A and B are shown apart, each in its own frame.
Chain A
Amino acid sequence: MRAFVLLRLAARSVGRNARRSILTAAAMVIGLALLIFSRALSDGGHEQWIESAVRMGSGHVAIQAPRYLETGKIEHRLERDQLGRAVEAIEALDPELGVVAWAPRLSVSGLASSAASALPVRVEGVDPEREATFSQFEGELRDGRYLEPDDGLHAFVGVELARRLDLEVGNRFVLTAQTASGEVEGQLVRVAGTFRTAVSELDEGLIHVPIETVRAWLGATGSATTVAILVDPSMRTDEVVDALSVSLESDPDIRVLGWRESTPDLDSAVRIDDYGDYIFHIILFAIIALAILNAVLISVLGRRREFGILRAMGLTGFETGVVVFVEGLLLTAASGVVGMVLGFAITWGFFRDGLDFSGLMSSEMSFSGSIIDPVIVPFFQLRQVLVSVYFILVIGSLASLYPALRASRLDPADAMKFEQ
């Protein structure tokens, strides 16, 4: 009964000075909405970076031989039986885990030579059919076509590399690399098409060749250096890594990596960007906390006589403090709900198709092997939204503690001296 009385007093007090309550709540509502919006935008940007990097790199999840990540050499590859086990493990995964595509790759560093020049390149042997849905290089096509399942001695070449080698669609050039047996062997291929991404490393140095051609050329029949896997949503990456690690744990020569491990530069970039966001959030939280503290404290100082009356009526100092604390909590909780709705409404209502930053950046920008799309589409993560709301509630509670303490420690006889 007493708890109910305290709650009712607190609720009425929040409504009593509507203007002050609304102004205080507005600080929290706008703060939370801004937080949800900026978090969704930031997560959306990260998702784009990751999506772009993993499609052109080794996927959200990569299955490799243990030392391949460090050496990048063909001698550290998955042999035919290991590749078979890896594929079996992928196909046995629970569909709920969200694996949407996988592709084997046999990659090697080598030299591309034409009559005009000789340049270092990264040759990726790919399954044209699987790769088309995976890396989606087709979308970056500048000339000719992407590889097709029946292709043999065909190559899909970065446009900048083609320019430097003075190659056009249909021209032939020679790839040279160390084979599985340690010999240096050449392979003549013909340009099927060229691509342009915003990633200069790819445009200047990547060549896709049908995987069977590369296997035959390098004497690595049936093998691959990586099986790349795409996961949707990317948040399930760790679950897929765990599931595959369990399936393949009997073979110590197979290693399962998440994108954070296989693409450490991108992981660092996301973390650094997150830290920047956290600093912004801390500043925002501090402003919100001060707004609440200010409003509730002023309210307490202006109601000393009222608290004196409450004490005279039989409330303890602690209970008087509880009234003030609950006032702060109610204000925070109401603001939390409204702020969350407003945050969703603004983000989803106005920016669901993305926020266009093309005025601020070049249309082709990249880093860490990732293409930066100037249009960032917000991405909501329930966990992030709940964390934001949780922090607002914690901040609101903490900011209400001091005024509550002040109210609980008021001397009732002194409090009664104050005129209202």
Chain B
Amino acid sequence: MTRFAVRTEDVWKVYPQEPEPVQAVRGLTLEVESGDFVAMAGPSGSGKTTVLNLLGGLTDATKGRIWIGDEELTGMSERERARLRLDRIGFVFQAYNLLPVLTALENAEFTLLLRGVPREERHARVHALFREIGMEGLADRRPGRLSGGQQQRVAVARAVVGDPALVLADEPTANLDSATSDALLDTMERLNREHGSTFVFSTHDPRVMERARRLITLVDGQIESDERRAPARADLPAP
């Protein structure tokens, strides 16, 4: 069993484009420890979202290798990657995260449903999470009747409910006001601390960067800086 939630080795992502191919990610080598709370910052176009898509198996690397836990993602078939995403990766996107035809409860339990978890267990886990993140009483609402912050909390619940090895969050606070952002970050920090979920964010938001225990800065598809600010896990001693 590896201590890393995710590892990459010389990963490149090149988009074939005229007149010249675009190198979105250039030789990324990275190790993220299990239970870490990592922020990836950088200007627009620095490759943050592409890195998250690569780590989540949503797009193929042009070159290099990626492991999620001890499973190598690169070289997997589409079906295997779908299974890996379902079992080991949770996603939180910037906005419009939820399936509009499902209620908050149904959205949050979606991955459990796909995994074939029995109804009682699904509901118990989702309701427990909803209590933790202050979503009690809103389980039966469809996304259209939830605020942006509430929707993001449901998305976070969906991402962590299956105890994934890795939660990838692409600018989760970008469309939220500061109070809602703080509340969402509190929720994610608590889930990280209490459930041991590994979070990797892409962000422009200083509040996210402040709370990250590790801050990686990307520029032009490469790591410009990698700053460890606190132990990877809250239960470990400071470096």
Q: List chain A positions with a Cβ less than 8 A from chain B.
A: 1-2, 5, 9, 12-13, 15-16, 305-306, 308-317, 319, 411-413, 416, 419-420
Contact = CB atoms under 8 A, between A and B. Distances in A.
A252 to B, nearest CB: 67
Contacts of B98: 309
A313 B114 contact: yes
Given A1-B116, A412-B58, A16 B101 contact: yes
Contact of A12 (B78, B87, B97, B101): B101
Interface of B: 50, 53, 56, 58-59, 78-79, 82-83, 85-87, 91, 93, 95-102, 110-111, 113-114, 116, 158
Contacts of B93: 309, 312, 416
B85 A314 contact: yes
- Secondary structure type dominating chain A contacts: helix
8 contacts: A5-B114, A309-B96, A313-B91, A313-B158, A314-B85, A316-B78, A413-B58, A419-B96
Contacts of A306: 99-100
B97 A309 contact: yes
Contact of A313 (B53, B101, B110): B110
Contacts of A420: 96
Most A CB within 10 A of own CB, among B86, B95, B114, B116: B114
B58 A317 contact: no
Nearest to A306: B99
Contacts of B95: 419
A315 B110 CA distance: 11
A316 B111 contact: no
Given A9-B101, A13-B101, 13 more contacts: A1-B113, A5-B113, A12-B101, A16-B101, A313-B110, A313-B111, A313-B114, A314-B82, A314-B86, A315-B82, A319-B82, A413-B53, A416-B58
A1 to B, nearest CB: 5
Given A2-B114, A305-B96, A420-B96, A312 B85 contact: yes
A312 B58 contact: yes
B78 A317 contact: yes
Contacts of B53: 412-413, 416
Nearest to A416: B93
Contacts of A1: 113-114, 116
B101 A311 contact: no
